[in-house]
Amino acid sequence: MKEKVLVTGGAGYIGSHLSNILLDAGYKVKVFDNLLYGQKLDANLSNNNSYEFINGDIRDVKLIEKSLQDVDYIVHLASLTGEPACLKNTELCNSINTQAVQILNEVRSGLPIIFASSTSIYGETGKRHCTEETIPTPALPYSISKYESEKLLSKSENVVIFRPATAFGISFRHRLDLLINDFVFNAVKYNLIKVYDPNVLRTFVSVQDLAKAYLLAIEKFKLFSGGIYNVGFDHLNLDKQTIVDEIKKQTNCEVIVEKNRKDNDNRNFTVDYSKIKKLGFSETIGLVRGIDDMVRCYREIISDPSHYCVNFNQI
């Protein structure tokens, strides 16, 4: 019998990729999502007999309990994502990103869960290289909410905690609020990238590889269980200037460095990814390929104002 995976936030940027990957791997998929951004469901998924969709609020206890019936694994991606959104509504951030996690943890009855945290929780550590043993010092609402959820879950059994790097790349439910995606879009649409603090370090992973990491954790859950894992690749610890240089190489866009502008996000560190690499996590889409994919897709759909939710797989 096929095992079933509940993917909360499964119609989102990462979840839409993960749903396809799980189905291809022979799992049944139950997606729980409130379609907050008005996105459409992938018809290829909706027409699959092994796919089920539940439209609901992750804070709805009764609906969550019902959704957990006949489920073998939980991948919890649902959240109010990113510091800008969370800074605008800190109460909603706490409600969705922390309180809902507590509810889910209480009603899952020991079901295996993989929780999506973030490397942003390392905050202003004062250290230039962060491992899973580095003590997080989150300073902004989104990262604080993720760390609080980590602490809640770490007291329970059958828990895997992922701290992913910042994702990039195309997705059915695309996002332009991610650094590389945003830079590439501006390069293609306006032939211009404006960058500030170009020497600040960030850490990245393609959305496709990130989705595959969740599949890997399901397939090797006994090995992963009880652990915290940074998810990414050491060679994708990069400064903004390196990102901009590659995009300029591919698009021949203009680059303006805004010297008088500063980033409110003071993260400036690299992350160690050796722990998850030892369990078999490997790269399939690197920076050059990821940027090339986006450049080609943006050029095809740049005249369509609905680009935000376009199914790039159909182009």
Domain residue extents for the chain: 4-314
pLDDT confidence tier of residue 315, bands split at 50, 70 and 90: very low
**CATH superfamily to which 4-314 belongs:** NAD(P)-binding Rossmann-like Domain (3.40.50.720)
Mean of the per-residue pLDDT values of the chain:
91
Host H or E run for residue 76:
strand 73-76
Q: What mean pLDDT is predicted for residues 67-81?
A: 95
Per-residue pLDDT averaged across 99-113, rounded?
95
Q: How confident is the model at residue 309 (pLDDT cuts 50, 70, 90)?
A: very low
Burial of 70 (0-12, 13-18, 19+ CB in 10 A): exposed
- Give the residue with greater pLDDT, 127 vs 164: 164
- Find tokens 């409130």 and name the residue: 34
Nearest to 48 by CA among 85, 20, 70: 20
- Comparing 314 with 159, the larger pLDDT belongs to 159
